[in-house]
Copies of this chain bind each other. A is one copy, B any other.
């Protein structure tokens, strides 16, 4: 933990076994609540940092149930099953006396050397230094990342009658830079703007309702990335009756696939 604003946003105070208390951060504020990536990362951290946790991160699912209000929130995390080489966790975030604001499950496991194979390649795009920083629309959390679109930058005021490209490839770096770890990687998995904005070329009401991330990197792999920019790729398959899917890849600059993520996004248009 450092005094980086992300680490401040990630601070969880222990409140008993499997119980933690956190506080929302204005540095990562979004339109009606915190940036979902920090919500996801806080829930994940409650399992990752638990003394009972065994194994490296493999899978995480976060369900965004309601917008968090500014202020304190509570997180509970319990190991649902511990096996010889895998462990499953269930987490929940609440605020005040209402129902859950987020639910989650996570899975950890041993990562032995095995046969390895990759069917995909990193997107062939211009490098971070050759691209211009994207100017966001002023929301707090978007200023905490240096986004450089190589492909598929959003058009906020395009012609909505002609579908925009749903695929984006972009370099992303924390601002200020921060060494990559699993908590930071979880936030990156939720960093892509809703594809509905790219498709429609205008702002519409939208929000991720569920996200699943799969981790293909070990702690050593993340340490090797350090605070260098990572390369993200995002696209969708279908937009239909109020929800669209979205899948993303997170690559290191030297071509390691660090994580893949999938989400379903609510929209009204």
Contact = CB atoms under 8 A, between A and B. Distances in A.
A81 B163 CA distance: 34
A266 B87 CA distance: 12
A82 to B, nearest CB: 7
A83 interface: yes
Interface stretch (A26-34, A96-104, A178-186): A96-104
- Which among A61, A82, A257 has the highest number of chain B CB atoms within 10 Å? A61
Contact of A212 (B58, B262, B268): B262
A212 B209 contact: no
A81 B58 contact: no
Contact of A236 (B110, B119, B262, B266): B119
Contacts of A58: 209-210, 243, 264
A245 interface: yes
A267 interface: yes
Contacts of A42: none
Given A63-B88, A209-B107, A210-B59, A260 B241 contact: no
Interface in A42-82: 58-59, 61, 63, 65-66, 79-82
A87 to B, nearest CB: 9
B238 A109 contact: no
Contacts of A100: 80-81, 88, 90
The oligomer's copy count stands at 2
B105 A105 contact: yes
Contacts of A90: 90, 92, 100, 103
Interface residues of A, number: 66
A118 B236 CA distance: 8
B112 A239 contact: no
Contact of A241 (B61, B114, B266): B114
A113 B240 CA distance: 8
Contact of A218 (B80, B83, B216, B241): B241
12 contacts: A58-B209, A58-B243, A63-B107, A66-B81, A105-B105, A107-B210, A113-B241, A214-B262, A216-B240, A237-B257, A238-B257, A245-B260
Interface of A: 58-59, 61, 63, 65-66, 79-83, 86, 88, 90, 92, 98-101, 103-105, 107, 109-120, 163, 166-167, 199-200, 209-210, 212, 214, 216, 218, 235-243, 245, 247, 249, 257, 260, 262, 264, 266-269
Given A80-B92, A86-B209, A238-B260, 9 more contacts: A65-B80, A105-B210, A107-B209, A113-B241, A114-B239, A119-B236, A119-B238, A237-B257, A237-B260
